[in-house]
Amino acid sequence: MPADGSLDYIELPGSDIPATKAFYSSVFGWSFTDYGPDYAAFKAAGRDGGFNAARKVVSTGGPLLVLYAADLDAMEAKVRAAGAEIVSRESFEGGRRFHFRDPNGNEIAVWTKL
């Protein structure tokens, strides 16, 4: 049983469930379980979550989901090849990251250690 206050589940907007599943399974290897046409739950490296068609993307300033990649450049190439828009890149003390927009318009970041 999770401890009180622990991060247990992540739910993101998913206006295009088929495109979302295709993108995240091809780029990150996530697996999905459908719960009707408007909801797909995912499993991702020990974390659970879902994409919900009823949720709407916040255009700026919403929560940011940050994923890890051992090879950031290779992951950026995979994300770009899957059709995502790269919206920014940055370096910071101890690492660097890029941000992209998924098929629903969610801004997601991927980072690596230096």
Overall pTM > 0.85 = yes
pLDDT of residue 7 exceeding 90, the answer is no
Class of residue 54 by CB neighbours under 10 A (exposed 0-12, middle 13-18, buried 19+)? exposed
CA distance 31 to 105: 20
For the chain, the average pLDDT equals: 93
Domains annotated for the chain, with CATH where assigned, are: 10-113 (3.10.180.10)
- Look at residue 8 in the predicted model and tell me its pLDDT: 87
Assign 90 to helix, strand or coil: strand
Query: What is the arithmetic mean of pLDDT over 14-18?
Result: 96
- Model pLDDT for residues 79-89, shown as the tens digit of each residue: 999 999 999 99
**What is the pLDDT confidence band of residue 43, given thresholds at 50, 70 and 90?**
very high
